[in-house]
Amino acid sequence: MSVFTHVVVGTNDLEKSRRFFDNCLAPLGLKRFYDGDTASAWGRDAPAIMVTKPNNGQAATYANGGTIGFAAASRAAVDNFHAEALANGGTCEGPPGLREFAPNAYGAYVRDPEGNKFCAYCYAPE
């Protein structure tokens, strides 16, 4: 069982965030299944991530030091997640590659257009 039901990040530009997440989450098998005036949600059977304008009406900001990680089925999916993120307004926070903290840890880090930090990881051997 997963520890999380969903993760929510704020945005100041919902349409830009929709394009970003539609493209970089597709290689991970996640797709958008909800759109509202103030929110969108991506996942498989239930929300994995929700992107919304803050309910309090203030500007969305990112969490410095916070990272949201997604599971990837393959190293190619990690590579595609990273490439799509950069092609859709994201910035690189760590290119795809092996990480030393765990055997076979292959990951990539990006920031979305609002500055939220995300990563995708595959732990399967090559």
Q: With contact defined as beta carbons under 8 Å apart, do 85 and 24 qualify? A: yes
d(CA 56, CA 60): 10
Q: How confident is the model at residue 47 (pLDDT cuts 50, 70, 90)?
A: confident
pLDDT for res 45: 81
Q: What is the per-residue pLDDT for 1? A: 53
Indicate the pTM of the whole model: 0.90
Which residues share a beta bridge with 100? Answer: none
Domains of the chain: which residue ranges? 7-54+70-122
Cα–Cα dist 112/81, whole Å: 12
Q: What one-letter code names the amino acid at 31?
A: K
pLDDT in tens, 50-88: 999 998 999 999 888 889 999 999 999 999 999 999 999
User: At 50, is the secondary structure helix, strand, or coil?
Assistant: strand
CATH fold for domain 7-54+70-122: 2,3-Dihydroxybiphenyl 1,2-Dioxygenase; domain 1 (3.10.180)
Cα dihedral sign for 13, 19, 25, 30? Answer: positive
pLDDT given for residue 2 in this prediction:
67
